[in-house]
Structure 1
Amino acid sequence: MFQIDPMSREPVYEQIIAQVERFILTDVLLPGSQIPSVRNVSMTNSINPRTILKAYTDLDARGLIQSVPGKGYFVCTDAQEKLLQKGRAKMKDLTELLTELAIAGVTKEEISACVEQAYADAEKQHQQGGTIV
């Protein structure tokens, strides 16, 4: 399920968090579904279990997954909505960036083309989904 890049500057636990969030947003992980166990991820990816537990604990604190003692971790029913709200909260940053680009002389057409490309890329990723171990 997880594809970890050991050469990345991004810590492994943050890579796991980002991938779980993406899997939730692209319906690879559905509400109520179980995510791979710490042991499974550790063995499959040769990652220290404490690193995985750190990622899962962070996701639990964000309200995206929940631990069920003796059974594992499961996706919360409102996880996708929480992530959508987080994305919408970035709109202010986007507005500021677009203002800077406009001041720098970037045209609406160039920005529109960039937006169209981003949405096409997102759709492609959504269709590709991911695989669960």
Structure 2
Amino acid sequence: MSDCAFCEIVAGEQSAHRLHEDDRTLAFLDDAPAATGHALVVPKAHHETLTDMPGDLASAVFWTVRRVAAAVEDALDPAGVSVLQQNGVAAGQDVPHAHVHVVPRDEDDDVRLAWPGDGEANAETARRLRERV
């Protein structure tokens, strides 16, 4: 797809620090990293969100995520690793091509992910979701 930065990286039209590539996925370093070693894993085929992808492609993406997370742990020895996937602008997705962040974490880093909910509506929410899963 034209106008897609990640499609351009996949096609070799835009540079990136590539970490791993197979027939369906590509992993590369984020050019605006939250931490040293922050990587992105994308499907090579253009899909805007995780839920747009066929299940077998989503599986392939997450196999690559696992591989990259293991490499981050082995090479960089962080205190932890966050794996994050966002669908849509409201969720923080800034490139409309499905991607997964693999972020090395340390105890004193500045990366913050917070969930302010209290869980009181969980029973009703669970019922509504079970009907659609």
Q: Fold match, TM over 0.5?
A: no
Say which structure is richer in helix. Answer: 1
Q: Which has the higher contact order (CA 8 A, sep 6+)?
A: 1
